[in-house]
Amino acid sequence: MGGLALCVLPLFAQGNYEIQVYGADTVAPGTTMVELHSNFTAQGQRYVIDGVYPTYHQEHETLEITQGINDWAEVGFYVFTSEQNGHGVQWVGDHIRPRVRVPNSWHWPVGVSLSTEIGYQRPQYSPDTWTWELRPIIDKAIDRWYFAFNPALERTWHGPDVRQGLGFAPAAKVSYDFTKEVSGGIEYYADYGRLFYFDSLHEQQQQFFAASDLNVSPDWEINVGIGLGATASTDHLIIKGIIGRRFSWHKASPVD
């Protein structure tokens, strides 16, 4: 599972709504995955800039609902919200995210999928109101190690960055299975700016999360982490949590 990454929203308006590196698997057909992403920006942008609210002490709650279509496709929907002193609970925007993956029958040595995400966010939370993302996903589990890489491309359809063209926003994850139930590792999220014409490091967004996955059941997904911004343009401290539950809509039969 994955979703809108950290940096869909541009400078000074980070998209800390769904902080997750995608794995290549898709939700099984006849199954719905419901996830709640809770992200709190402990240290972030403190000022209103160009009408965009500051991220400092924003609490973001994102509901993600993903429906498995078949054994190689799914579609996800997002509802983004924000809570902050002085602004109350606000609806931020919605996205839709179809995704396809390489079927198991192709026997590829790594998991590969491709998602595309389109959506709207209110200008108080992002000056770029309509955005599009294309996210290739590659992952691999080797013994106790897990590796995932999401070299995402982003495009603004409406807003100040509409002429920027494609932006490059990679994300990556390395984790280690300490036990069957507990894995821990590093997640990396970045927005380098325009593809082939990266912003200066000062203006790039880069963030490292120490994160842990709790594999308590095939039906549940639990991820927690704490992230530190590595550049001046990145929110400096974010605490994140994801809890997800799979619901199967067909009665399990031993003869299926």
Which residues form the interface with other proteins (CB under 8 A)?
A: 25, 104-105, 107, 140-146, 177, 179-180, 183, 215, 218, 253-256
Shortest Cβ 111–other proteins spacing (Å): 9
Distance CA 242, CA 164 (A): 32
Residue-wise burial string across 90-128, b where 16 or more C-beta atoms lie within 10 A, e elsewhere: eebbebebebbbbeeeeeeeebbbebebebebeeebbbb
Shortest Cβ 215–other proteins spacing (Å): 6
Q: Which are the contacts of 87, defined by CB distance < 8 A and separation ≥ 6?
A: 53
Q: Identify which of residues 25 and 199 has a Cβ nearer to other proteins in the complex.
A: 25
Residue 107's alpha-carbon distances to 100, 102, 111, 112, 216, in angstroms, are 16, 9, 9, 11, 28
Q: Identify which of residues 142 and 196 has a Cβ nearer to other proteins in the complex.
A: 142
Tokens in use for 219?
């039906």
Shortest Cβ 225–other proteins spacing (Å): 18
Distance CA 80, CA 4 (A): 10
Q: Identify which of residues 32 and 215 has a Cβ nearer to other proteins in the complex.
A: 215
Shortest Cβ 183–other proteins spacing (Å): 7
Q: Identify which of residues 85 and 179 has a Cβ nearer to other proteins in the complex.
A: 179
Is the sign of the CA dihedral 198, 202, 203, 205 positive or negative? Answer: positive
Residue 192's alpha-carbon distances to 45, 100, 195, in angstroms, are 19, 26, 8
Shortest Cβ 255–other proteins spacing (Å): 5
Element (H or E) spanning 229, and its range? Answer: strand 220-229
Q: Identify which of residues 51 and 109 has a Cβ nearer to other proteins in the complex.
A: 109
Q: Identify which of residues 50 and 143 has a Cβ nearer to other proteins in the complex.
A: 143
Contact of 125 with 38, CB cutoff 8 Å: no
Shortest Cβ 110–other proteins spacing (Å): 11
Q: Identify which of residues 88 and 254 has a Cβ nearer to other proteins in the complex.
A: 254
Shortest Cβ 247–other proteins spacing (Å): 16
